[in-house]
């Protein structure tokens, strides 16, 4: 029945998801090696898991807003990010940063509003979330000559009278760039001059192994009152399956966002809140150990990709993805992904799935896999690439 058909935005999202599976980055087959996995390569640290078990044993199984978690997040933001946050008035804690980002778009994006976002980038974080809420994505390219950092001059050129919001992911994925403070200061000046809302996704902030230190945009003068800083526990604490994320910002933005959150989510998993509390209040050595291991695996992946004739891969600064160039083969990234899946049983992410302007001659590859899988996957990829002619 026509009345039961999905909306055009939902149909586009369904089609894109189908394409992702066709291109070899959906559910895998037995025997495939996945060099595009988007989840952490570690088990959640034991003290965090035990905190959730203890919460269940102690009867924390009903709706509960864990005040201690709010206070721990506020302490973390003050200590590590330079943000002054009231635990009640300035925080929304929701079911993962992804849901928090959707709620932000649902709250603040009206039909026809333009949202500036960088490409390449997560297909869902900003791009599809904007479309599903009837906004207009305005894509700004991340260029290799700027080490894939967002260019304030291109952001300025993208601003129109219909612009509502600037979004950024810092560190960025999948290109692995970290924004410099100087660039953030220029983006902040644009937001203030044009009276724009800014959403800063900082989920990968601790996975940083480059020369550029992470800095929170909201800590700049004049930005606390117009910035929603989004973070969570999935990546840095190996808690992808726990689904705990949050947004911090001024009360006048948090209050309407909280009302949408309550409609969409009702409440956050209570034992997971106690697990997140343990993550922040407990020992941080597991995080440092994971970052050290990610750094080692990153070096293995980047070196292995650069050893394959026809592939060039820059060294990322943050996150756990690399963004290699495959232009020498003269294939669209989807064709390349199909070929290496068919002939090497190895899965890579076509660049085109990371948005318009993302680059059809790039791939997303991940170093969150084990060292054994990385080395085996690189060997399979090299063997498959050896069967392809090079045009450049």
- Maximal CA-CA distance, the chain: 64
Give the pLDDT band (50/70/90) at residue 157. very high
Neighbours of 71 (CB within 10 A): 17
Give the pLDDT band (50/70/90) at residue 358. low
From residue 185, give the alpha-carbon distance in Å to each of 193, 194, 216, 223. 12, 14, 10, 10
Of 56-65, 162-171, 382-391, the range with the lowest mean pLDDT is: 382-391
pLDDT at 6: 53
Give the pLDDT band (50/70/90) at residue 21. very low
326-336 pLDDT tens trace? 999 999 999 99
The answer to whether 367 and 300 have CB atoms below 8 angstroms apart is yes
Mean of all residue pLDDT scores within the chain: 90
CA distance 249 to 4: 38
In this model, does residue 12 exceed pLDDT 80? no
Residue 208 is given by DSSP the state: B
The answer to whether 83 and 104 have CB atoms below 8 angstroms apart is no
119-129 pLDDT tens trace? 888 877 777 78
In a 10 Å sphere around its CB, with 0-12 CB exposed, 13-18 middle and 19+ buried, how is residue 359 labelled? buried
Give the pLDDT band (50/70/90) at residue 88. very high
pLDDT at 72: 98
In this model, does residue 62 exceed pLDDT 70? yes
Percent with pLDDT over 70 in the chain:
91
In this model, does residue 23 exceed pLDDT 50? no
In this model, does residue 90 exceed pLDDT 90? yes
pLDDT at 210: 84
In this model, does residue 337 exceed pLDDT 90? yes
Give the pLDDT band (50/70/90) at residue 15. low
Phi, psi of 330 (to 5 degrees): 70, 20
Of 132-136, 180-184, 254-258, 308-312, the range with the lowest mean pLDDT is: 132-136
pTM to 2 decimals?
0.91
**Structural domains of the chain sorted by starting position, each given as residue range(s) with its CATH number in brackets:** 20-44+286-385 (3.90.1150.10), 46-281 (3.40.640.10)
The answer to whether 167 and 198 have CB atoms below 8 angstroms apart is yes
277-290 pLDDT tens trace? 999 999 999 999 99
pLDDT at 263: 87
Ordered DSSP codes for 315-351:
PPSBSSEE--B-GGGT--HHHHHHHHHHHH-EE-EEG
Phi, psi of 14 (to 5 degrees): -60, -45
Cα angle at 185 between 182 and 191, to 5 degrees? 150
């Amino acid at each position: 029945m026509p009345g039961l058909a999905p909306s055009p935005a939902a149909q586009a999202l369904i089609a894109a998801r189908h394409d992702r599976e066709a291109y070899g980055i959906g559910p895998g087959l037995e025997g495939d090696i996945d060099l595009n996995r988007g989840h952490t390569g570690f088990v959640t640290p034991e003290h965090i898991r035990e905190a959730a078990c203890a919460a269940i044993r102690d009867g924390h199984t009903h709706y509960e807003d864990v005040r201690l978690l709010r206070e721990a997040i506020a302490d973390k933001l003050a200590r590590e990010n330079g943000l002054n946050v009231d635990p009640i008035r300035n925080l929304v804690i929701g079911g993962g940063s992804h849901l928090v980002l959707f709620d932000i778009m649902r709250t603040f994006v009206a039909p026809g509003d333009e949202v500036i976002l960088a490409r390449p980038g997560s297909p869902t974080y900003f791009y599809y979330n904007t479309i599903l809420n009837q906004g207009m994505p305005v894509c700004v390219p991340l260029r290799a000559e700027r080490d894939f950092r967002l260019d304030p001059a291109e952001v300025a050129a993208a601003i129109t009278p219909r612009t509502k919001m600037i979004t950024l992911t810092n560190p960025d994925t999948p290109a692995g760039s970290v924004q410099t403070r100087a660039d953030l200061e220029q983006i902040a000046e644009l937001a203030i001059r044009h009276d724009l809302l800014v959403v800063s996704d900082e989920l990968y902030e601790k996975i940083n192994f480059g020369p550029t230190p992470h800095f929170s945009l909201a800590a700049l003068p004049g930005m606390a009152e117009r910035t929603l800083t989004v973070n969570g526990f999935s990546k840095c604490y190996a808690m992808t399956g726990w689904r705990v994320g949050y947004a911090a910002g001024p009360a006048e933005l948090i209050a309407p966002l909280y009302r949408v959150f309550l409609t969409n989510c009702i409440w956050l998993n209570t034992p997971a809140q106690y697990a997140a509390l343990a993550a922040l209040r407990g020992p941080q050595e597991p995080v440092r150990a994971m970052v050290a291991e990610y750094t080692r695996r990153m070096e293995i992946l980047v070196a292995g990709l650069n050893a394959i004739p026809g592939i060039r891969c820059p060294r990322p600064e943050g996150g756990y993805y690399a963004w290699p160039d495959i232009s020498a083969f003269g294939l669209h990234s989807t064709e390349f992904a199909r070929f290496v899946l068919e002939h090497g049983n190895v899965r890579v992410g076509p660049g085109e799935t990371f948005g318009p302007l993302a680059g059809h001659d790039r791939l997303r590859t991940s170093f969150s896999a084990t060292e054994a899988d990385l080395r085996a996957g690189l060997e399979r990829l090299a063997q498959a690439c050896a069967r392809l002619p090079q045009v450049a």
